[in-house]
Amino acid sequence: MEKSSSSASAAASNSTAFSFISKGWREVRNSADADLQLMKDRANSFKNLAASFDREIENLIQSAAPTFSVPAIRQSSEIDFMKKLQPKILEFRRVYSAPEISRKVMEKWGPRAKLGINLSRIRSAIVAELDETHEEDMYGITEFNKFRKGRRLGFTEEGSLGDWEPIRALKTRLREFDKKNYSVEIFGGFKNSEFVEKVKSSLKAICKEPQESKEVPPLDLPELLAYLVRQSGPFLDQLGVRRDICDKIVESLCSKRKNQLVLRSLAEGEPPTADSDKINDELDLRIASVLQSTGHCYEGGFWTDFTKHDISDGKRHVAIVTTASLPWMTGTAVNPLFRAVYLAKSAKQKVTLLVPWLCRSDQELVYPSSLTFSSPEEQENYIRNWVEERTGFKADFKISFYPGKFSKERRSIIPAGDTSQFISSKDADICILEEPEHLNWYHHGKRWTDKFNHVVGIVHTNYLEYIKREKNGALQAFLVKHINNWVSRAYCHKVLRLSGATQDLPKSVICNVHGVNPKFLKIGEKVVEERELGQQAFSKGAYFLGKMVWAKGYRELIDLLAKNKNDLEGFKLDVYGNGEDANEVQSTAKRLNLNLNFLKGRDHADDFLHGYKVFINPSVSDVLCTATAEALAMGKFVICADHPSNEFFSSFPNCLAYKTSEDFVAKVKEALTKEPQPLTPEQMYSLSWEAATQRFVEYSELDRVSNNEHDPAKVRPNGNIIAKSFSMPKLSEMLDGGLAFAHYCLTGNEFLRLCTGAIPGTRDYDKQHCKDLHLVPPQVENPIYGW
């Protein structure tokens, strides 16, 4: 009985325990399910938030790509915004794509990372409560513990979030986001827009990327040698190697390029021509294209001086420097004066004429009729009155003076001191050196091409022809030839030769840039009117006019008349002139019994000379005889030698050129028996100073400089432009600078100056010059060995 009651109470206790355990487990399971559902909801919320963030980023990127023309300021601000946003996106990707993202998320958003229920205390209470436990009961509790452990283990695996689908999807999304090219994705919408094209072109212009570097083959050895020979032309000329020989060497080295030119001409339907000019242009283009393909850009040479005149008033300043001045009636005094007047007449530039000032003792030796001036202002008034009387208008130009000394041996004026300092720096723009070799023989001062932007030399005199007539003339002519090459190359950008009778100087071209006094053209117009009215325009025969020195054609004249005295029997010639050789010339003519009538020198525009019909000029020492041009302008016959100095006049019908002494006799007889043809308006214009000024502006490249144009560009066959001057190495400039520096050093030594024939004391101006021109006395140095 007692045993049955004990069993009943034990069963009741077991039932109560299981009831209690089941109830507790249901509460725990419900709580765990609620927690698990909460975590799933929060994870889904995070997933939706990430998807929403992705959509916002894509919308923002798409909105940044303009489908219409957007102002440059707005585009710039959008690009800046995207640049600022990109680091934040990268930071977001770095943080949320890390492996510990699940743990961080669950620690922050989940109430528990792992739900485990420890039932050991419950079991201990149950065991303590049951002193006698049946084996079956213990089996039941053991099975429950297995069940409990399995549930806890299973739940822990489910709740471990390591392979949870939302987290795996988020990680996959972030990995894809990491693999994308952000720059392409963000700026992809800009690739076809006009804005990007402009940005690309601007960047290319800034970076100066070499174009067509892959299309330009490198220079071969013959091309390099040809370029070296051509650049060394002035140096070879100093050694006596003629320019035509250098051209032939370059042409032979560029035979391949010559064949290409011929084929190109045939393809274009033109005659197959490949002259030296085209070959040189192609060589320039070839060198420039190769250098440009490498990105090379020439910035200046060792001797280059970039501190030059800056145009502030919008007008160019032209300084004309010459070696003589009125009242000395010589070509280098008259022609530069007319050039200054007609350049100033155009009002396109300001003009300054710089002429030498002689002390009174030298004035008495040079100026005719013992005419002297006590001040530069007095001589300036004389010059202005003389030119205004002949041109008929008043020109607005400035006249300045520099110190000079007269050399009796050379019969010329030598500058004293640095002539360039008498042109102010503000007016140092364009310089015209009349007789550049003469001005620079003993020039010891600033280099003209350093001070001025553009320097043009005009060769007036054939010094080699004069020197050959002197003692040891051949040796002197050889030395002077190379000195002329030296100084012309060192101090000029361009050299104009009035005719082919002059020395072939570096950087030179042949062009007559002289005109005649307008007064002679008016005389020619008057002669035409008289002939139209049936009046006799010419009542006298033949005459010759010129300075009476042997080199001015008097030797040739006496030889021709003496040789053909019988053929020209009865022919009488009037000779007008004064000069150092007057007595010797007249005595020689008298000794040979020549029919020459020597008269005092006159101005060619003198009324007494208008009646002569024939002007004879046998001189071959002149570069371009001004008297010949004046006689043609007055409508007269001109008999002259067939010589390069007269090439400009050969196109006029009244110019009768002879080649032999017999031909001279025939031309004289023809002129005496016929009447000159009236000049056409075109022929008269070609003799005028207006036409001469136009030719000068063209051939001196003054128009290009005045229009602020730089070195010309070369155009390739495909249309691309290559600027030669900025991509080619300026070997010639380096050579010019070296020559100028060497010349400066040599002319600074007084001993060397005296050895080469300089007037003593001409390295600096003297006290009398300082007094007359109001100059500061130069610093005293060693007169013999000082530099």
Tell me if residue 619 falls in helix, strand or coil.
coil
Among the listed ranges 145-149, 423-427, 547-551, which one has the minimum average pLDDT value?
145-149
Among the listed ranges 35-39, 92-96, 382-386, which one has the minimum average pLDDT value?
92-96
| Band (253; pLDDT cuts 50, 70, 90) | confident
What interhelical angle do 661-673 and 554-563 show, nearest 10?
90
The mean pLDDT of 35-51, rounded to a whole number, is 72
**Res 450 pLDDT > 70:** yes
pLDDT at 209: 43
pLDDT at 683: 92
Q: Which amino acid is at 776?
A: V
pLDDT at 13: 54
The mean pLDDT of 557-565, rounded to a whole number, is 92
Tens digit of each residue's pLDDT (9 = 90 or more) over 105-117: 455 444 444 444 4
Cβ neighbours of 646 (radius 10 Å) = 22
Comparison of pLDDT for 412 and 241, the residue scoring more: 412
Sheet of 596-599: strand order equals 596-599, 573-576, 540-545, 612-617, 637-641, 655-658
Asked if 749 and 785 touch (Cβ cutoff 8 Å), the reply is yes
Any residues with CB less than 8 A from the CB of 746 and at least 6 apart, and which? Answer: 752
**Res 544 pLDDT > 50:** yes
For residues 281-296, b (16+ Cβ closer than 10 Å) or e, as one string?
ebbbbbbbbbbbbeee
Tens digit of each residue's pLDDT (9 = 90 or more) over 308-329: 555 555 678 999 999 999 999 8
- The answer to whether domain 316-512+731-760+768-773 and domain 518-687 are alike in fold is yes
| Band (52; pLDDT cuts 50, 70, 90) | low
Any residues with CB less than 8 A from the CB of 130 and at least 6 apart, and which? Answer: 10, 13, 14, 17, 137
**Res 448 pLDDT > 70:** yes
Alpha-carbon distance of 554 to 297, in angstroms, equals 57
Q: What proportion of the chain, given as a percentage, has pLDDT over 70?
A: 63
Comparison of pLDDT for 118 and 769, the residue scoring more: 769
Mean of pLDDT over the chain = 76
305, 324, 82, 277: which is closest to 186 by C-alpha? 82
pLDDT at 351: 95
**Res 120 pLDDT > 60:** no
pLDDT at 71: 45
Q: Where are the domains of the chain?
A: 217-260+278-290, 316-512+731-760+768-773, 518-687
Tens digit of each residue's pLDDT (9 = 90 or more) over 770-785: 988 988 876 654 443 3
Tens digit of each residue's pLDDT (9 = 90 or more) over 9-24: 555 555 555 565 666 6
The mean pLDDT of 719-736, rounded to a whole number, is 57
Alpha-carbon distance of 510 to 489, in angstroms, equals 16
231, 285, 128, 696: which is closest to 506 by C-alpha? 231
**Res 296 pLDDT > 70:** no
Is the domain defined by 518-687 classed in CATH 3.30.479.30? no
The mean pLDDT of 326-355, rounded to a whole number, is 92
The mean pLDDT of 193-199, rounded to a whole number, is 56
**Which CATH topology does 316-512+731-760+768-773 take?**
Rossmann fold (3.40.50)
Range list of β-strands (E), 337-471: 349-357, 398-407, 412-415, 430-434, 454-459
Asked if 654 and 636 touch (Cβ cutoff 8 Å), the reply is yes
**Res 157 pLDDT > 70:** no
Tens digit of each residue's pLDDT (9 = 90 or more) over 470-526: 888 888 889 999 999 999 999 999 999 999 989 989 889 999 999 999 999 999 998
